Structure 1
């Protein structure tokens, strides 16, 4: 900080503020106890999403949704569709629609990580997903994490990250401030990561020296002897993850009609009626409990775990994908062609 005379740059400022209201005090105490019980972290890898910066928001950026894909190109495709629908449904005139469609055209042909359209900057942003661990167990949900009790599979699970303002200098509680300081030097060092990944990770400590924590999410993992396997995607509440576990245990493949010359299903797709019955009973017992976070079924252990995402911040905002972040495919046309009058052309 001594290199910066006067006020510290926005991307280096961590503003720790004590709040005296009872809710904040309980949340702080819960967070402090959890960090002590689960003092280490396990990094799963990068996730990618989309952020926007509007006029007047500078230097802040705002998340457009969850960073929930492991490949930058998938996030670019999401941005492609987002801008196409804005051009179709929200553009107020031909000039605005043309600006949006020009950005779409770039995303269809170039693996770009930032575009400008209709006065807004859009960026593909990167975050590292990690969980805390202590005594060989991943951290479960905290008592103060937002939660609910419905087992109805149709219950909404709205994102807590959509609309999140990426503000490095925003006031945070003492525990989050300490957490962020502890994450400043987080990088990939294990031999299981390729050399270019480790080099990019080390370089990011200098190019993007700040860190911001996104709202936590929750997943179900299957605990193995020496590792964990992800069973569900991200959910905004622990109960959303619990509902996903029930669906995982009870969902069956739809029965196919018995047609002549129908090929036999592979073994992995066949329903084991005995196992299905065991899973049904386990799911029923699971849903009879209030906010359970673990389940053992025929020797297989499932845990609901708390997952955090840390985003690195530089002078120009959140980090983009790194050169070593690989894609399985390249850019392409996602939506039909559209002209600046909003006319859509389907087909060839």
Structure 2
């Protein structure tokens, strides 16, 4: 097959990087190949939803949900937002069409819908990390990281609005990485057989792909050299640090039932990470070591656009209205105001709520202090 006969979705278009920042990023990516030569799958798939564009490609609306159903729920929210916009503009037919799509998603597992002439689809993404002699790759100097500690949630998503279009040019290093990732299929014996079969099938049905902006997760070192994911991928390195400090101050004391000495040790580690944001922190005299890890995210593309959910994807929850009906049938659902007696919160939940409130107040106080009077 000659270059002219290669379908656009299988094309990896390499172009010269005009801006100094893009050129520096491409150079960093090349150095990462040498320092972190091994590429590994980073946990389970991740999901989102996208809209097909008239001018080509698919615009990402949301990305980062852990199951297809989470993305269907988010897509329903998108249609409700569009319905509200149509109502405000006096478009009753548009409002009705958008609401019908949202209601359908409340009851059915639908991964693609055409609404107001546009196709929307739940998309499947894969996550990878690089690993070298020093462990998994940390953030690179060129990775955007503008937020102060505790404030990363205020930044817009780096994936919302991103266009999945294989025809868009990329740097040499990113093009090589994309080629490397597209050749990876799940290893026999490491995953269930149906997961491997779907991975092999996707390589045939969706042989092209697009790299989304990198994400960042927290990994914990287990033993001498083994690292395991501790959080999902976050928007920026600081967002990952914020997720870790929230865990150290709020989740760990409750879920691990820490005594006061251990709580103090976890608090000190969180304080250190806030005062000197870095990519690694040790807790309790090195008993636990956490690291910010760079995550590459790939969406496969075929002749009809980005890959949707696979049959083997973890997707345990029914649509929201089906779930509500099931709870009602079991007597486990009450509407607000229904007389069902008092269901008191457990002591664990009360403690959790207290720590959340304390951490939120601490972060707000820090933010106000940085802004000044």
TM score, norm. by length of structure 2: 0.79
8 A Cα contact 2:147 2:155, kept in partner: no
Matched, 1:232 2:244: no
Q: Which residue in 1 is equivalent to 2:262?
A: 275
Runs of 4+, deviation exceeding 6 Å:
none
* TM superposition shift of 1:292: 0.9
2:127 matched residue in structure 1 = 129
1:87-126 pair list within 5 angstroms: 87-91=83-87, 92=89, 93-126=91-124
Q: How does 1:1-348 map to 2 (within 5 A)?
A: 1-2=1-2, 6=4, 8-43=6-41, 44-54=43-53, 56-58=54-56, 60-66=57-63, 68-91=64-87, 92=89, 93-135=91-133, 137-148=135-146, 150-153=148-151, 156-225=154-223, 227-251=226-250, 268=255, 270-289=257-276, 291-298=277-284, 299-333=287-321
Question: Going by fraction, where is helix more abundant, 1 or 2?
Answer: 2
- Following the alignment from structure 2 to structure 1, what is the Cα–Cα distance between the partners of residues 158 and 115? 26
Give the Cα separation in 2 of the matches to 1:99 and 1:293. 47
In 1, Cα distance between the equivalents of 2:210 and 2:191? 23
Q: Which runs of 5+ in 1 are unaligned?
A: 255-266, 337-345
SS of 1:63's equivalent? strand
SS at the partner of 2:119?
strand
Contact kept in structure 2, 1:157 and 1:240, CA below 8 Å: no
* CA displacement, residues 142-195 of structure 1 (integer Å, 9 cap, x when unaligned): 111111261244762321000000010101001001111112211112313111
Q: Give the RMSD, CA atoms, in angstroms.
A: 2.6
Aligned twin of 1:343: none
Query: How many angstroms apart in 2 are the aligned matches of 1:63 and 1:174?
Result: 24
Asked if 2 retains the 8 angstrom alpha-carbon contact of 1:157 and 1:235, the reply is no
Stretch of structure 1 that moved more, 315-324 or 150-159: 150-159
CA gap of 1:329–1:237, structure 2 versus 1, over 3 A, is closer
Q: Aligned in 2, Cα 1:251/1:120: closer, same or farther, shift over 3 Å? A: same
| TM value normalised by structure 1 | 0.84
Q: 1:240 to 1:154 in 2, by over 3 A?
A: closer
Distance 1:178 1:270, change over 3 A: closer
CA 1:71/1:253 → structure 2, altered by over 3 Å: closer, same or farther? Answer: closer
**Partner SS for 1:333:** helix
Q: Whose RCO is larger (CA < 8 A, sep 6+)?
A: 1
Provide structure 2 residue ranges, at least 5 long, that are not aligned to the other structure. 325-335, 339-373
- Gap change, CA 1:347 and 1:324, over 3 Å in 2: farther
| Inter-partner Cα distance in structure 2 for 1:307 and 1:253 | 24
Assess if the C-alpha contact under 8 Å between 1:252 and 1:271 holds in 2.
no
Q: Give yes or no for contact 2:9–2:302 (8 Å, CA) kept in 1.
A: yes
Q: Is the 8 A contact 2:152 2:242 kept in 1?
A: no
Shift of 1:97: 1.4
Aligned length: 321
Q: Partners of 1:144 and 1:97 in 2: how far apart?
A: 43
The equivalent of 2:368 in structure 1 is none
Give per-residue Cα distances to partners, 1:40-63, cap 9 Å, x unaligned. Answer: 122122111100114x233x1010
Secondary structure in structure 1 of the residue aligned to 2:110: coil
Q: Offset at 1:102?
A: 2.5
Moved more, 15-24 or 167-176: 15-24
